[in-house]
Copies of this chain bind each other. A is one copy, B any other.
């Protein structure tokens, strides 16, 4: 017989609550990505977890908040990836490439895909500023990594704003075309895309 108390500690309760909330978000994000936000109801999300919609409301206020939490989780992964890349040893190009590889893999993952597949206009006017601020933070981090690599001469001089848009666009797009059941792994795709972007189309002498 287990000697573990049948009464849960506050820490255990909080952990359980987080786990349940996460499960709701993970079920929701998959449906949003597959069917679209408007075609997904919280009833569908609840049904996929064998719970009722009322149970979801224990953890999240409404469908708009569910979506905002989903894109926030994706954006936080990107921000963490940028922070980690900045702390790497090596030259600017190395740190930039490390970030780009992780960036691409995140946008092929559930929460990352949701960022790209969610137009700002889908969120409520109240939720948009947070979405925009987090996206701007990532854009700024990417520009910063580009500028550092230009400064130490490890990449060619380039307009950092436009380069950030070109890189982000190329690496965001798998959120639309990548088939998780396809033959190439996200890791392989990330490396191939970044390789094309670093080498460019023009032949090298």
Interface residues, chain A, with chain B CB atoms under 8 Å away = 34-36, 38-39, 93, 96, 117, 119, 121-122, 149, 153-156, 158-159, 162-163, 165-174, 176-177, 189, 192-193, 196-205
Contact = CB atoms under 8 A, between A and B. Distances in A.
A155 B163 CA distance: 20
Copies of this protein chain in the complex = 2
Given A158-B201, A170-B170, A204-B205, 12 more contacts: A36-B119, A155-B202, A156-B200, A156-B204, A162-B192, A162-B193, A162-B196, A166-B197, A168-B173, A169-B172, A169-B174, A199-B202
A189 B172 contact: no
A198 B201 contact: yes
B196 A163 contact: yes
A39 B177 CA distance: 25
B122 A36 contact: yes
A155 B192 CA distance: 17
B192 A156 contact: no
